[in-house]
């Protein structure tokens, strides 16, 4: 019955015209609400069916004094007698537009400004127009760009980096800012002498004497993977495929931490098909970077908070590497299909970690991820529409889709498939999918159709529709149990009954075991004794240090951790750590203290983190003036 329904729906989809209106729900026979397919990206003004970009020639000057970029974006475009081409911009000043090889001055029109979408830039076309050239500059408030003073970069030199995902590329480059539109690029970037510029492209390995840098990106990418950083950078290669860019003070420790990178590339290529991006270099950013990592092709950006000194947080590297297949090679067509990027990537990440480290390690990561998922489901409610894999983020900021639903429920879907159909079947599906859709974008519906076509039972065994379109967690979801964590449960049980911190044997505990242990601490745990024995507030591992601080705030052990917590919040800009800690402080009736810390720390955070934390304080009556 399900198979037949699926076939009928696929047939209907083929003939459904894409439309910009909101889509009505259609009910499937299983009672699951399946939205009508919609491959149009509602987060971009571009109309790629009429006119789209193909190649970008970018020429930028980086002005640290004014905190602006100024330059020229010259696009080769593809169209069939279209009347106009539309770009996305936000807070950009468009100085001039020219068209054609000769570059004759040309008219353009700016749409009205929208807080989320920015402004459309419409350029009328002639039938023969094949190049449009836009002279523009950014503003110091550009949301993608973070300008760090020498003091903030902890160097004698300033630092600049971009974060374009989800829809911030348009704040530093007029572009068709939709994940479904790909282009290649060349760039020239001029920076102050002595600094190095790097991009998501073929990169220099030495500082240029003139401050003039040239880049080529031969593989087509969507705008959200456009990336650039400028600073006092040095490079250290591992071998043929990979290397590390970092500021000199962290270069050696980063290079040691991520030494398994080439092994990861080897393993991932063996599992999921050839690595298509030639190089996989890593750029370690200053601590203000708002995310753990960003999979900018050829040059992954990572937070320094994963340099723990024991290689315990390198799953992040496996994760960003995995995006070289799921995300960068096959890209979610719209942000509603975000789980195709992230759920797949978490699955690939854990397979890589299993091969490079051990299956016990992957099981622990799987269980921590499962805990995150259960927490999200509890917070949102099992019936909440945001617990569906297929998202509905129209008219909302796609950042709202960054939750463990896309990551961990997406992961569990593939993991459950592995249990049900076997690992070989899943590997075959993934390999065939990456081959079929290489350098293209994909909607959820395309994947669902592909999957039902390839599974022997048409997907009825696992219940594909329920997994993809249903809320909550399907009852057949795989549930993992790590042996290491089962042993920790005994330790925790004993701690709860005897409160004897001195009796805990932590010999051989990995960072993951510490994370599990700290997350599960019993209500009556003696936090002072734990702090005294293990000095957790001074830990070099940011992941479990953050959990420890959260626990202390929840359980009222505040004064003794005040100083290290303040330091942590002032130094680190990673949103995942900041939001629970500020929330925790507010819940612990520390609103004024939290507000004071935030006032000092805020200029050093990226706009993505600032936005999230501004909202937390606004909900508590504190507004940024």
Q: Which residues lie near Zn ion (CB under 5 A)? A: 342, 345
User: Does 407 qualify as catalytic in the annotation?
Assistant: yes
Under 8 Å between Cβ of 89 and 123: no
Q: How far apart are CA 478 and CA 413, in angstroms?
A: 8
**Does residue 233 contact residue 246 with C-beta atoms inside 8 Å?**
yes
Min dist CB 429 to Zn ion, Å, is: 20
CA distance 47 to 140: 29
Count Cβ neighbours within 10 Å for each residue of 36-54 and write b for 16 or more, e otherwise.
ebbbbbbbbbbbbeebbbe
In whole angstroms, the minimum distance from the beta carbon of 116 to Zn ion comes to 22
Q: Which entry of 407, 469, 516, 598 is annotated as an active-site residue? A: 407
Compare residues 331 and 345 and give the one whose CB is closer to Zn ion: 345
Q: Tell me whether residue 143 or residue 342 sits nearer to Zn ion (CB atom).
A: 342
How far apart CA 276 and CA 296 sit, in angstroms, is: 14
CB of 374 to Zn ion, least distance (A): 20
From the CB of residue 522, how many other CB atoms can be counted at a distance below 10 Å?
14
* Closest distance of CB 318 from Zn ion, Å: 11
- Answer yes or no: are the C-beta atoms of 267 and 317 closer than 8 Å: no
Distance CA 302, CA 295 (A): 9
Q: What does the block give as tokens for 20?
A: 């910009």
User: Residue 616 to residues 360, 402, 554, 610: CA-CA distances in angstroms?
Assistant: 37, 17, 17, 10
Q: Which is nearer to Zn ion, 343 or 564 (CB)?
A: 343
Between CA 79 and CA 53 the distance in angstroms is 9
Alpha-helical (H) ranges within 383-526 are: 404, 410-421, 423-436, 444-454, 464-469, 483-498, 511-519
Residue 163 beta carbon to Zn ion: minimum distance, rounded to whole angstroms = 13
Residue number with CB closer to Zn ion (207 or 612):
612
Distant-in-sequence, close-in-space partners of 219: CB < 8 Å, separation ≥ 6 = 184, 276, 277, 297, 439
Q: Omega of the bond prior to 166 within 30 degrees of 0, cis?
A: yes
Residue 231 or 343 having the CB closest to Zn ion? 343
Q: Which is nearer to Zn ion, 303 or 345 (CB)?
A: 345
Q: Name the catalytic one among 143, 257, 295, 320.
A: 320
Instruction: Map 184-247 to HEC letters.
Output: EEEEEEECCCCCEEEECCECCCCCCCCCEEEEEEEEEEEHHHCCEEEECCEEEECCCCEEEEEC
Whole-angstrom distance, CA of residue 306 vs CA of residue 293? 9
CB of 307 to Zn ion, least distance (A): 19
Which CB atom, from 177 or from 342, has the smaller least distance to Zn ion?
342
Is 161 noted as a catalytic residue in this protein?
Answer: no
Nearest approach, Cβ of residue 558 and Zn ion (Å): 34
The nearer residue to Zn ion, 165 or 416, going by C-beta atoms, is 165
The CB density around residue 65, as the number of other CB atoms within 10 Å, is: 7
Strand-pairing partners, residue 59, are 72, 188
Closest approach, Cβ 546 to Zn ion, in A, equals: 19
Beta bridge partners of 356: none
Residue whose CB is less far from Zn ion, 281 or 342: 342
Residues 6+ apart with CB under 8 A from 451: 429, 459, 464
At its nearest, how many Å lie between Zn ion and the CB of residue 319? 6
The residues annotated as belonging to the active site are: 320, 407
């Amino acid at each position: 019955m399900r198979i037949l329904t699926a076939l009928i729906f696929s047939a209907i989809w083929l003939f459904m015209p894409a439309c910009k209106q909101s889509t009505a729900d259609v009910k499937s026979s299983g009672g699951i609400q399946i939205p009508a397919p919609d491959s149009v990206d509602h987060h971009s003004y571009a109309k790629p069916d009429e006119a789209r970009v193909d190649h970008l020639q970018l020429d930028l000057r980086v002005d640290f004094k004014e905190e602006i970029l100024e330059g020229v974006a010259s696009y080769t475009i593809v169209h069939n007698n279209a009347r106009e081409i539309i770009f996305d911009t936000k807070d950009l000043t468009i100085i001039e537009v020219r068209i054609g090889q000769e570059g004759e001055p040309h008219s353009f029109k700016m749409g009205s400004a929208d807080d989320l979408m920015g402004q459309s830039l419409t350029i009328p076309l002639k039938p023969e127009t094949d190049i449009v050239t836009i002279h523009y500059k950014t503003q110091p408030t550009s949301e993608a760009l973070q300008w760090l003073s020498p003091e903030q970069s902890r160097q004698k030199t300033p630092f600049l980096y971009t974060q374009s995902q989800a829809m911030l590329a348009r704040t530093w480059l007029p572009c068709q800012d939709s994940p479904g539109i790909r282009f290649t690029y060349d760039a020239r970037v001029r920076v102050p002498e002595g600094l190095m510029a790097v991009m998501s492209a073929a990169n220099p390995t030495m500082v240029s004497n003139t401050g003039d840098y040239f880049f080529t990106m031969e593989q087509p990418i969507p705008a959200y993977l456009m990336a650039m950083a400028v600073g006092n950078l040095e490079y250290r290669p591992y071998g043929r495929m990979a290397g590390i860019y970092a500021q000199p003070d962290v270069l050696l420790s980063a290079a040691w931490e991520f030494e398994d990178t080439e092994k990861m590339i080897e393993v991932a290529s063996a599992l999921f098909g050839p690595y298509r991006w030639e190089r996989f270099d890593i750029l370690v950013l200053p601590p203000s970077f708002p995310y753990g990592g960003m999979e900018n092709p050829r040059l992954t950006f990572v937070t320094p908070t994963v340099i723990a000194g024991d290689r315990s947080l390198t799953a992040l590297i496996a994760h960003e590497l995995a995006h070289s297949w799921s995300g960068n090679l096959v890209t979610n067509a719209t942000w509603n299909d975000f789980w195709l990027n992230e759920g797949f990537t978490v699955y690939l990440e854990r397979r890589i970690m299993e091969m490079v480290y051990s299956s016990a390690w992957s099981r622990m990561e799987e269980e921590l991820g499962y805990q995150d998922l259960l927490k999200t489901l509890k917070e949102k409610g099992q019936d909440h529409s945001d617990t569906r894999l297929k998202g509905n983020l129209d008219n909302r900021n796609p950042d709202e889709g960054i939750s463990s639903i896309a990551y961990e429920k997406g992961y569990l879907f593939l993991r459950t498939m592995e249990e049900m159909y076997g690992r070989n079947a899943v590997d075959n599906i993934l390999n065939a999918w990456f081959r079929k859709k290489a350098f293209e974008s994909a909607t959820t519906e395309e994947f669902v159709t592909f999957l039902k076509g390839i599974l022997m039972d048409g997907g009825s065994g696992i219940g594909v529709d329920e997994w993809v379109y249903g809320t909550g967690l399907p009852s057949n979801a795989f549930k993992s149990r790590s042996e290491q964590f089962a042993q920790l449960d005994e330790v925790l049980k004993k701690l709860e009954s005897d409160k004897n911190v001195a009796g805990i044997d932590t010999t051989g505990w990995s960072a993951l075991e510490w994370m599990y242990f700290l997350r599960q601490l019993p209500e009556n745990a003696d936090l002072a004794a734990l702090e005294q024995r293990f000095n957790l507030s001074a830990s070099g591992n940011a992941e479990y240090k953050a959990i420890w601080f959260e626990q202390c705030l929840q359980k009222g052990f505040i004064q003794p951790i005040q100083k290290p917590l303040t330091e942590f919040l002032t130094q680190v800009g990673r949103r995942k750590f900041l939001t629970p800690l500020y929330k925790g402080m507010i819940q612990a009736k520390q609103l004024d203290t939290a507000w004071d810390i935030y006032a000092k720390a805020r200029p050093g955070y990226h706009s993505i983190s600032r936005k999230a934390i501004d909202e937390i304080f606004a909900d508590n009556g504190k507004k940024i003036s």
